[in-house]
Amino acid sequence: MTDLLNSFLRNRWVRKIASPSRFTLFVVALLIIVSTVRRITGAADITSAGLSGATLRFTIPLLMAGLGGLWAERSGVINIGLEGMMIAGTWLGAWFAFIYGPWVGFLAAAIGGAVIGLFHGILVVRIGIDQAVSGLAINILALGAARYLSGILFPSRGGDISLSPVVEQTPTLTVPGISPLLGSIADKNIFLLSDGAGILSGFVTEISYATILLLLAVPLSTWILWKTKFGLRLRFCGENPVAAESLGVKVYRMRYMALAISGMFASVGGAYLSLVASQVYREGQTGGRGFIGLATVIFGNWRPSGVLAGSVLFGVTDALRIRQPTSIHAALLVVIIAGSIYVIWAFATGRMKHGVRALMATSFIGLIYLTVPEIPREFVSFFPNLATILVLVLLAQRLKPPAMLAVPYREREETE
Amino acid sequence: MKSRNLLAVLAPLGAIAFSFAFISVILIAKGSNPIEVVKSMAEYGFASRNLVAELNIASTYYIAGVAAAIGFKMNLFNIGIDGQYRLAVFFAAVIGGMVSLPPVLHVALIIFVAMAVGGLWGALAGYLKVKRGISEVISTIMLNAIAAGIVAYLLQPQQLGEQATGSNNLNTPIIDSSGWLPTIPILGGEVHGFIIFSLLIGLAYWVLLNKSVFGFNLRATGFSFRAARAGGVNASRMILITMALSGAMAGLIGMGTLLSQTHSYSISFPSGFAFTGLALALLGRNHPVGIALAAFFWAFLDRSSGVLDLNGVPREIITIMQGTLILSIVVAYQLVKIVNKKQEQKFVGKATLPESNLVKTEGVVSK
């Protein structure tokens, strides 16, 4: 029976038909689980438009930081300075948005981030100092510079040393027709349908144009890195710089460009925090999101789509944390049900080892669900960090980081 | 060889000069007179009241510097100092606050708990590196966030913490006076008694590194992982022990403040020791005396920056200077290394040319 099922699933045609719809199937299954959990626990928030909207707002900064990390690491350089670049972005974005409006704020953050990224590049690629030292120094410098400049510029303009004046909002989009329709369905309280509509309406109501634009960075990154010559060369530098150079690729130049792009993404992610998520620059706004960006790169196995998945996951937990604590508990139940389904599926297809592991993990979460009445917010805040360590420990064989990540490389010099 | 040593001394001095020049430019751009600023900082910073505070801060920083240096000696980058310190000082404060013991024993227990907790948290990163090949840079960054979350959770009033009435500050219960370390009256102020431990730690670090087999193995592994392994050093074990040691040191960072000043852990305890420690180890070239000088310089900058706000300059100019200083010093060392390497190559190239060989042999023959 299992052999039959196995060979059926492995069939070329079955796989071909199943692959595009697999995603849909996954989404529908998840929706059914979430709706069921909502009925059981009464945690209405988990399928509300508020939560999905908040998830989107929390996802974008992590996604930008993650893509920043991805671009740097694909070229072979690790960027610990993501956090500092994000801080620079929050500040630059707010200051230029205050004077010229939000879009100029984003532009200024992008340019500033690219400059800092290039600075990191010159330090670690050309001069060859330690990549972690440079990154940490950039974090400190950005922190100090932002506070120094705030102290000089903000107090006379209605802010203070740790707070900017309020900036103008970015224009938002509410899809006409669909958004009110989804809203009315969500209010009807029909199982599954209302839940789906609730979640969806968060994605089509008052969405900043910046959100839509920045989401495009994922397909764009995939396309550039995997479908263009430039991307191939850039990844080549991360996998084998010696061979790349022998084939005429300018390793230094590729890495400079990768780091400029990396800084740009991280900084724009920061600007999103101060311009879209809150419309004000506040000290400590980034809250370690640059480091979580590094985590999403590992979590996403050094692929843009993976980084997106990681950012959404961490974005959901971030959104749950600041909303209702009961939702976190309900989310655990979602994980338990999904885990149980995976366990059954793994045993049915004969992958005993996976099944046993998943069973252990699921029962562990189940134990937490039953014994702990409320997951403390502090624990949810480090969920991304813990998840990343667990991924590194348990799935190390599946991860494929660039082969020469963080290994310094010196171009051959012309002999005199 | 002589020119090389000269360069090694000139590099830090040049970096300090450069960072001074850099912030001078920033200050002039803002319309302040850098000379006036430095003058007022020196006046404020060398006042005896502030010197005492600087000594206390420096002794804290010094331990962070040593913790980072232990890792550096083996090419390990312990960014986890922050998390190790936080977790260690928290648990030391909690356990110290729970028990009552005879005076010396009580203090010893608190120090032991701090070292054990810091060491274990550091060893965890070492274990992940040895067993799973996870870079300590990544794992310690993640572990820092986890440590901060655990402490924030446990510090809540319904857990292990306390909240004084009418205050937002959360802290652990006050330790009995048997668990206090007396202060030393110097310059009319109170210097933490723990400063003596700081000096002992520096000495122990030097002896361990330079006079013990373990230190020899550690430095050897730092120079070349493979060569050391070929020479019979169990490199994995070395990584584990080094991370544990570095973590144990990091655990001691908060002891001066805890034992002689606050007697309880609170959310207002300072943070950011990972960068400070790394900076001091780099500035002091991993040498116990060098780190001590660097620690005092750092503490002086931090303390005397307090006067800047009165002069209308945001004190964060000092943060900028510290960041610039670290970058310029690392760049200076790197440039020195590149220059030396080039000279060496030239020398080797000349010495191995066929003609020069000939000259040499002839010379020997004619002798």
Q: Is a pLDDT exceeding 80 seen at residue B356?
A: no
Asked whether residue A282 falls in the same domain as residue A384, the answer is: no
Residues B216 and B96 grouped into a single domain: yes
Nearest residue of B to residue A152 by CA position?
A: B314
Alpha carbons B274 and A383: distance in angstroms, whole number? 22
Tell me whether A128 touches chain B (CB under 8 Å).
yes
Q: Is the predicted pLDDT of residue B116 greater than 60, yes or no?
A: yes
> Which pLDDT score, from 0 to 100, does residue B366 have?
42
Beta strands in B108-249 (DSSP E): 162-163, 170-171, 184-186, 189-191
Nearest Cα of chain A lies from the Cα of B83 at a distance, in angstroms, of 13
CB B124 within 8 A of CB B143: yes
Domain range for B113: 58-162+169-312
Question: Are A294 and A349 in a shared domain?
Answer: no
Distance from CA of A377 to the nearest CA of B (A): 8
Does B143 lie at the interface with A, CB-CB under 8 angstroms? Answer: yes
Residues A337, A368: one domain? yes
**Tokens in use for B210?**
């330079």
Tokens 């299954």 belong to A29
Query: Could you tell me if B109 lies within 8 Å of chain A, comparing CB atoms?
Result: no
Residues of chain A with confidence (pLDDT) below 70 = 1-22, 325, 413-416
Set of chain B residues whose Cβ sits within 8 Å of the Cβ of A78: 137
Q: Residue by residue, what is the 3-state secondary structure of chain A?
A: CHHHHHHHHHCHHHHHHHHHHHHHHHHHHHHHHHHHHHHHHCCHHHHCHHHHHHHHHHHHHHHHHHHHHHHHHHCCCCCCCHHHHHHHHHHHHHHHHHHHCHHHHHHHHHHHHHHHHHHHHHHHHHHCCCHHHHHHHHHHHHHHHHHHHHHHHCHHHCCECCECCCCCCCCEECCCCHHHHHHHHHHCCCCCHHHHHHHHHHHHCCEEHHHHHHHCHHHHHHHHHHHCHHHHHHHHHHHCHHHHHHCCCCHHHHHHHHHHHHHHHHHHHHHHHHHHHCCCCECCCCCCHHHHHHHHHHHCCCCHHHHHHHHHHHHHHHHHHHCCHHHHHHHHHHHHHHHHHHHHHHHHCCCHHHHHHHHHHHHHHHHHHHHCCCCCHHHHHCHHHHHHHHHHHHCHHHCCCCCCCCCCCCCCCCCC
Say how far apart CA A312 and CA A332 lie, in whole Å.
16
Do B249 and B70 form a contact (C-beta atoms < 8 A)? yes
Paired tokens of B314: 């945001």
Task: Record the pTM.
Answer: 0.90
B45 within some domain: no
- Return d(Cα B317, Cα B299) in angstroms, integer: 15
Considering the domain boundaries, does residue B281 fall inside one?
yes
* A154 residue type, one letter: F
- Reading the block at residue A288, the tokens are 């370690």
Chain B environment of A151 (Cβ under 8 Å): 314, 316
Residues B300, B238 share a domain: yes
Same domain, A259 and A339: no
Q: Which of residues 140-199 of A touch B (CB under 8 A)?
A: 140-141, 143-145, 147-148, 150-152, 161
Say if the Cβ atoms of B314 and A396 lie within 8 Å: no
pLDDT value for B362:
47
CA-based nearest distance B154→chain A, Å:
9
What is the CATH classification number for the domain harbouring B150?
A: 1.10.3470
B313 strand-pairing partners: none
The pLDDT, as a whole number, for residue A21 is 64
| Mean pLDDT, chain B, integer | 87
Of B243, B237, B246, nearest to B217 by C-alpha is B237
For residue B345 the two structure tokens come to: 């190559």
pLDDT at B365 over 50: no
Of A195-209, B69-83, B170-184, highest mean pLDDT: B69-83
What 3-state DSSP class applies to B326? Answer: helix
> Is B150 near chain A, with CB under 8 Å?
yes
Q: How many domains does chain B have?
A: 2
Please tell me whether residues A328 and A287 are part of one structural domain.
no
Q: Is residue A98 part of a domain?
A: yes
- Domain presence at residue A22: no
Cβ–Cβ gap B314/A151 under 8 Å: yes
Let me know whether B248 and B328 are in one domain: no
Give the residue from A329, A311, A308, A319 showing the smallest Cα distance to A376: A329
Residue B165, pLDDT > 80, answer no
Q: Examine residue B356 and state whether it is found in any structural domain, yes or no.
A: no
Q: Are strands A207-208 and A172-173 parallel, antiparallel or unpaired?
A: antiparallel
pLDDT (0 to 100) of residue A93: 96
Please judge whether B331 and A127 are an interchain contact, meaning their C-beta atoms are less than 8 angstroms apart: yes
Q: Do A91 and A271 meet the contact criterion of CB atoms below 8 Å apart?
A: no
Position B266 in a domain: yes
Give yes or no for A412 touching B (CB within 8 A).
Answer: no
CATH code, A296: 1.10.3470
Domain count, chain A: 2
- Model pLDDT for residues B61-74, shown as the tens digit of each residue: 999 999 999 999 98
Q: Tell me: do B14 and B83 sit in the same domain.
A: no
DSSP state of B198: H
Measured between beta carbons, the chain B residues lying within 8 angstroms of A381 are 145, 149, 152
First to last CA, chain B: 28
CA distance B202 to B54: 18
Question: What amino acid is encoded at A313 in this protein?
Answer: L
Question: Is there a single domain that holds both residue A296 and residue A332?
Answer: no
Handedness of CA B32, B36, B39, B41 (dihedral sign): negative
Phi, psi (rounded to 5 degrees) for A318: -60, -45
Q: Tally Cβ neighbours within 10 Å of residue A239.
A: 16
DSSP classification of residue B269 = S
Residue A207 CA to residue A179 CA, distance in Å, equals 11
For tokens 């006046």, name the residue: B43
ipTM passes above 0.90: no
Shared domain for A297 and A369, answered yes or no, is: no
Closest CA to A235 of A296, A302, A311, A310: A302
Q: Which chain A residues are closer than 8 Å to B133 by Cβ?
A: 396
User: Residue B272 falls within a domain, yes or no?
Assistant: yes
Give, in order, the Cα–Cα distances in Å from B213 to each of B68, B207, B208.
21, 10, 8
* Whole-number pLDDT of residue A106: 96
Interface probe for A, chosen from B82, B128, B131, B137 (most Cβ of A below 10 Å), is: B137
Q: Is residue A28 assigned to a domain?
A: no
Domain final residue pick, A253, A286, A301: A301
Q: Residue B27, SS3?
A: helix
CA–CA dist B199, A27 (Å, integer): 61
Question: Among A352, A247, A360, which residue's Cα sits nearest to residue A2?
Answer: A352
B160 to each of B86, B94, B152, B171, B348, how far by Cα in Å? Answer: 15, 7, 10, 9, 65
From the number of C-beta atoms within 10 Å of its C-beta (0-12, 13-18, 19+), residue A162 rates as middle
Q: Return the CA Rg of chain A.
A: 23
**Do B194 and B247 belong together in one domain?**
yes
Same domain as B325, residue B300 = no
Q: Is residue B68 part of a domain?
A: yes
The predicted-structure confidence for A266-283, as pLDDT tens digits, reads as follows: 999 999 999 999 899 999
* pLDDT surpasses 60 at B361: no
pLDDT at A12: 61
Q: Are A396 and B132 in contact (CB < 8 Å)? A: yes
What does the alpha-carbon distance between residue A65 and residue A50 come to, in Å, rounded to a whole number? 24
Question: B176: which DSSP letter?
Answer: P
**Nearest Cα residue to A295 out of A391, A376, A218, A210:** A391
Tokens matching residue B58: 């420096």
Q: Is residue B48 one of the residues assigned to a domain?
A: no
Asked if the structure places residue B209 within a domain, the reply is: yes
Say yes or no: A282 and A379 in one domain: no
For residues B274 and B137, membership in a common domain is answered with yes
Q: Do the chains contact at A140 and B135, CB–CB below 8 Å?
A: no
Q: Report if residue A266 sits inside a domain.
A: yes
Q: Computed over its alpha carbons, how large is the radius of gyration of chain B?
A: 24
Percentage above 90 pLDDT, chain B? 44
Q: Does A80 touch chain B (CB under 8 A)?
A: yes
Is residue B205 located within the same domain as residue B246?
yes
Which domain, by its residues, includes A237?
A: 45-301
Backbone angles phi, psi at A200, to 5 degrees: -60, -40
Q: Is the dihedral of CA B227, B231, B236, B242 positive or negative?
A: negative
Task: Give yes or no: residues B290 and B322 share one domain.
Answer: no
Q: Does A381 touch chain B (CB under 8 A)?
A: yes
Q: Is the dihedral of CA A129, A130, A131, A132 positive or negative?
A: negative
CA separation for the pair B193, B56 (Å, rounded): 9
Do A285 and A389 share a domain, yes or no?
A: no
Neighbours of A374 (CB within 10 A): 9
Per-residue model confidence as pLDDT tens digits over A197-231: 888 888 888 889 999 999 999 999 999 999 999 99
Average pLDDT over residues B201-219: 91
Same domain for A275 and A199, yes or no, is yes
| Whole-number Å distance between alpha carbons of B86 and A140 | 19
Q: Which of A312, A221, A294 is nearest to A261 (CA)?
A: A221
Distance, CA of A270 to CA of A283 (rounded, Å): 12
Residues of B in contact with A288 (CB under 8 A): 145
Same-domain check for residues A356 and A210:
no
Same domain for B173 and B250? yes
**How far is CA B126 from each of CA A404, B72, B99, B175, rounded to the nearest angstrom?**
22, 14, 31, 32
Q: Are residues B15 and B131 in the same domain?
A: no
**Terminal-residue alpha carbon distance, chain A:** 72
Task: Show the tokens assigned to B347.
Answer: 């020398």
Q: For residues B74 and B152, state if they share a domain.
A: yes
**Residue A362 domain-assigned?**
yes
Q: Supply B24's token pair.
A: 């001078």
CA distances from A154 to A94, A146, A149, A159 (A): 11, 11, 8, 5
Is B336 an interface residue toward A (CB < 8 Å)? Answer: no
Q: Per-residue confidence at B1, pLDDT binned at 50, 70, 90?
A: very low
Q: Write out the E strands in chain B.
A: 162-163, 170-171, 184-186, 189-191
Asked whether residue A144 falls in the same domain as residue A203, the answer is yes
8 Å CB contact between B138 and B151: no
